[in-house]
Structure 1
């Protein structure tokens, strides 16, 4: 039951993006690879995190955890996996595909992470499943939107300068997201609420923006 609870918000996020990709659906094989790359990302993040902890012992403060050991490592690895998945792939043939694949990779990672946390003998349970369904999984999806959006700008505006933003934008959002949650003080909950609203606003706006940029939009409109 806990595995199903850990998987449900991930499936909901994937389905939402699949519906939003309404002008030219991505091949099932590529979508599967996106989730699979996200699962691989989780394994690499775990291995890299263990290596860095062993080589560079440190105290786990909220700042260090948020900005380095979680957001820093996770977004860097996700960026690399997403780049190798789509940058030269012929299926990356409209701007919204950047967001679609960015979210599929991010939610693949979130799926693995969620199952680990929710089924943990000490940290897991139904309360953890609910908390992560409301906060962690949507957070990873929204970070994936930011990463994919700047990947799309990098490719379709032919400006490689957007690629650094494909890492730094989700990294900063992720770091602040975690930091505000880890502080667990009323004022930081206020900051978190503002950040959450801005992340959703940015995400929904950019999905709509790239939908409207689709080269397949006119063709689909004529057929319908």
Structure 2
């Protein structure tokens, strides 16, 4: 009991320390402006990640923890290391060079390590909560969203403190918001998603070599993209930056979206493949099959249940749908030989949850129309 409490206290302490440091640098009003402006991009990122995670949603407590880790622990770790790297660069290479060293070398290496540590921790200690690439991307994305939120508070606040809201000739908070909140809100999630993909591949492969190399490859890909982005912003001209943005980052982002979409369809097939066996065993009513193989049909079913029987009944239905999905994923892991030694106990628990939630479904919502 003490460990979770200590962890939450540590997260809160890191967050408060960062808030105090940022406020001391830019002032209270600018800090408030930074917080308000930073909420917009982080909100859109979180909404996109929750949409990705609809087949088998991750526990809300872990998603909040991932967001908090990125916003506090990863951010303060990166701040301390990057400031040290900047000071060392100034001492060794001359004044003004340290910022370049910090941006191109230190930040990619240590920021991605600090963010990726959370995803790696989920893989090592909460393995049952990480079923593959989608889960890896979601956890990595939440950590990166939290990190970007904290970083944006400072950048937006500093822009306001230095220039005000800006106009056509002033690089103010509006310009900073357009650059970081509109054009590139996906950058940190994109970088760290590489680690999530690597970890997701690792937990789904029977090969020991791939199991080790996939997370390492994901980390190296994250560092490379991060370093390339920072180098374009620090060393290059405006044209160089735009070239990197449109010719590298945007295509990789589009490829990532297509990759995640393909995995979502794959998850749908896993559920569809398992449902006939669940019907045969009497765990799922045949009339429910069509409503369980489509996210749209699931959402419509929950909405109709909420209208007819209330929100509690809709939440119970959501639990039934989640139990079906998790059981399908467990069977799929078993076929691959990746379910773990506790697979039988997990199956027993999921079957019990499925029966309990199904028994609580309102009669009218459980009848075919």
TM-score normalized with structure 1 length:
0.88
Which of these residues, 250, 271, 276, is aligned with residue 217 of structure 1?
271
Q: Shift of residue 83 of structure 1?
A: 1.2
Cα deviation for residue 50 of structure 1 reads 2.2
2:139 equivalent to 1:67:
no
2:179 equivalent in structure 1 = 131
Correspondence 1:190 to 2:222:
no
Please, which of 15, 34, 54 is the counterpart of residue 47 of structure 2?
A: 15
- 1:199 maps to 252
User: Do the aligned partners of 1:71 and 1:175 also contact (CA within 8 Å) in 2?
Assistant: yes
Larger radius of gyration: 2
Name the structure 1 match of 2:200: 152
Residue aligning to 1:76: 113
In the TM superposition, residue 95 of structure 1 has moved relative to its aligned partner by: 3.1
Moved more, 199-208 or 11-20: 199-208
1:49 aligned residue (71, 82, 85): 82
Q: Which residue is 1:37 aligned to?
A: 69
Shifted more, 135-144 versus 180-189: the winner is 180-189
- In structure 2, distance between residues paired with 1:205 and 1:9: 21
- TM-score, normalised relative to structure 2: 0.55
How has the CA–CA distance of structure 1 residues 109 and 188 changed in structure 2, closer, same or farther, with 3 Å as cutoff? closer
CA spacing shift, 1:165–1:205, aligned 2, 3 Å: same
Contact residue 107 and residue 140 of structure 1 kept, 8 A: yes
Alignment correspondent of 2:147: 109
Question: How far did residue 189 of structure 1 move?
Answer: 2.3
Matched, 1:118 2:156: yes
Point out where structure 2 has 5 or more consecutive residues left out of the alignment: 1-32, 164-171, 276-291, 299-369
Structure 1: unaligned runs, 5 residues or longer: none
Worse-superposed segment, 17-26 or 195-204:
195-204
Report how far residue 20 of structure 1 moved. 1.4
Q: 1:135 to 1:72 in 2, by over 3 A?
A: farther
- When structure 1 is superposed on structure 2, of 176-185 and 29-38 the one drifting more is 176-185
* C-alpha distance in 1 between matches for 2:122 and 2:219: 15
Deviation at 1:125, TM superposition (A): 2.1
How many residue pairs align between the two structures? 223
Q: Which has the higher relative contact order, 1 or 2, with Cα contacts under 8 A spaced 6 or more apart?
A: 1
Verify the 8 A CA contact 2:34 2:152 in the aligned structure 1: no
Q: Cα deviation per residue 1:174-193 (whole Å; 9 max; x = unaligned)? A: 11122223312424522331
